[in-house]
Amino acid sequence: MPQQLRLRTLIDEISALTLHVQELSRMAEEASGLIESGRMPAPVDPQELIDDVHAFRVQLEDAIVRIFEEVFGPRTDTLERHMSMRLISEIGPAAFVQKVLWGEEISDIALTIALERMIPALERLVEEYPTAFLEQANSVLDQFKTR
């Protein structure tokens, strides 16, 4: 009896997936028609988007390195610099800046204290690239704009 129940569940899941595939296929055909008729722009090349994101990440990392050099000097062997560069490689430059400026965990607060002299320069970086650092705030603001 339990075997029949598992088989029935699998059949139900396959049926549901089949319906989803049919719906996606219909949506793809509809989008293709809109693109061909010129009522919708063609999608951007995904590799171009990936390259743009990578280039932007490198740009932010370079800006943070320049801030380190302005604030702490050219030394690369400091604990703050090693700790920060490792964290940037793990979570990305935008998340790093967000942790330093607005983090609420104990480790974030310790990082903020260690990098306290960098805060004004990081705040200027946020002003220069607000969409990179304030993505969550922007999405909330967009919800208010549409209401």
Going from N- to C-terminal start, the domains of the chain cover 1-43, 46-146
Where is mean pLDDT largest: 15-24, 44-53, 113-122? Answer: 113-122
Taking only the tens place, the pLDDT of each residue in 30-66 is 888 888 888 888 777 778 878 888 898 899 999 999 9
Highest mean pLDDT among 17-26, 69-78, 110-119: 110-119
For the entire predicted model, the pTM comes to: 0.61
DSSP of the chain: -HHHHHHHHHHHHHHHHHHHHHHHHHHHHHHHHHHHHTSSPPPPPHHHHHHHHHHHHHHHHHHHHHHHHHHH-S----HHHHHHHHHHHHH-HHHHHHHHHH--SHHHHHHHHHTGGGHHHHHHHHHHSHHHH-HHHHHHHHHHHH-
